[in-house]
Structure 1
């Protein structure tokens, strides 16, 4: 899990997110134990999200984490 966490933590240096945080799951919920690391990010608009995904740090993180992960869960919301 440490290599996954380190690989995802690279995303915190991506300048296109207004807010970004990578944290280890504390596993306090007895009914949900599948997720070890959470990436939370906020973007001012879709253009900022696209720029975030186009940034080289995003690809670097993918290159590190994808071969190590068993599960990926994503959720996108708009206000």
Structure 2
């Protein structure tokens, strides 16, 4: 995918209801315990860019290779996070590079 020696995985989320933003953040924060990421951050969007307010939470991860990213997605914590967040989310956009 890249010649930098690792893969970046970035996922943008929005809550269906603004009341659930904190629950989306908490559900995604479970992913920080997943041992397969080199780096994993879960942050709330600061909404500084006035032209794009759709995103509420961002997950940013760095993985050694495609196998590490696949192991991350196969880990039980990943499914636990999906189970909590999917019913609450409106938008999910992912990019790997």
- For this structure pair, what is the TM-score category when the shorter chain's length is used for normalisation? over 0.9
Q: TM-score, normalised by structure 1?
A: 0.96
Where in structure 1 do 4 or more consecutive aligned residues deviate above 6 Å? none
Q: Quote the residue 1:14 is aligned against.
A: 34
| Deviation of the 1:2 alpha carbon | 0.6
C-alpha separation between the residues in 2 aligned to 1:75 and 1:55? Answer: 19
Structure 2 residue runs of 5 or longer lacking an equivalent are: 1-20
TM-score by length of 2: 0.79
Gaps of 5+ in 1: none
Equivalent positions of 1:1-79 (< 5 A) are 1-77=21-97
Q: Deviations over 1:19-49 (max 9, x none)?
A: 0000000000011000000000000000000
Distance (whole Å) between structure 1 residues aligned to residue 94 and residue 78 of structure 2: 15
CA-based RMSD of the aligned residues comes to 0.4
Higher strand share: 2
Return the alpha-carbon distance in structure 1 between the equivalents of residues 96 and 52 of structure 2.
20
Higher relative contact order (CA 8 A, sep 6+): 2
- CA deviation profile, 1:43-72 (whole Å, cap 9, x unmatched): 000000000000000000000000000101
For these two proteins, the number of residue pairs brought into alignment is: 77
